[in-house]
Structure 1
Amino acid sequence: MSEQEFTITDLTRILLEGAGAGEGIDLGGDILDTDFEELGYESLALLETGGRIEREYGISLDDDIFTDHRTPRALVAAINGYLKELVAP
């Protein structure tokens, strides 16, 4: 099985597909270290985002993934950790 990588581009695409973007929010800008709440994504939108990530990448995320990883940078790193576990021997 080849190793998948989850990128900020993947995350912004999934955020837009699932919840859209708040007025005045540019997901194409420098958002890596901005809290999801500041980006306009609250619990319901993040729940939808998590479900989409699980389905697309075939992983099961912990319930507290978004409370433990509150920025896009932290979430991308965490998702890549899950993906690496899938291919670990």
Structure 2
Amino acid sequence: MSTATPFTLDDLTRILRDAAGVTGEIAPDLEFELLGYDSLALLETYTRIEREYGISLDEDALATVRTPGSLIEVVNTHLAAVGAG
């Protein structure tokens, strides 16, 4: 996948559903826990994002991720860094 394309809520929704199988609306500002995603589902999500987008997500940054919106920001920051390098 091209690093020039930003990571969107639609991308995250697809990966979350593939990784955890939870359906329903994904609100960018609700905490993952409230959306029904546990730490194992998020770990699988991070792994899928890394594999699909060819990036390595920073564990310290991921430790602060609580919402889909914040995860999208982290992924796009990493994609921008890869694209600039």
Asked whether the two chains share a fold, i.e. TM above 0.5, the reply is yes
Counterpart in 2 of 1:27? 25
Give 4+ residue runs of structure 1 displaced > 3 Å after superposition: none
Select the structure that is richer in helix. 2
**Alpha-carbon distance in 1 for matches of 2:62, 2:78:** 14
Determine which structure has more spread, i.e. the larger CA radius of gyration. Answer: 1
Counterpart CA distance in 2 for 1:2 and 1:36 is: 25
What are the ranges of 5 or more consecutive residues in structure 1 without an aligned counterpart?
A: none
Quote how far apart the aligned CAs of 1:26 are. Answer: 1.9
C-alpha spacing 1:2/1:73, structure 2 compared with 1 (3 Å)? closer
Report the CA distance shift for 1:64/1:43 in structure 2 as closer, same or farther (over 3 A): farther
RMSD of aligned C-alpha atoms? Answer: 1.8
TM, length-normalised to structure 1: 0.84
Deviation of residue 67 (structure 1)? Answer: 2.8
Structure 2 runs not aligned, ≥5 long: none
CA distance in 1, matches of 2:63, 2:3: 29
Count of residues paired in the alignment: 84
TM-score (normalised: structure 2): 0.88
Give yes or no for contact 2:28–2:69 (8 Å, CA) kept in 1: yes
CA contact (8 A) 2:31 2:66 kept: yes
Tell me the percent identity: 50
Q: 1:2 to 1:8 in 2, by over 3 A?
A: closer
| 2:43 matches 1:47 | yes
Bigger shift: residues 47-56 or 69-78: 69-78
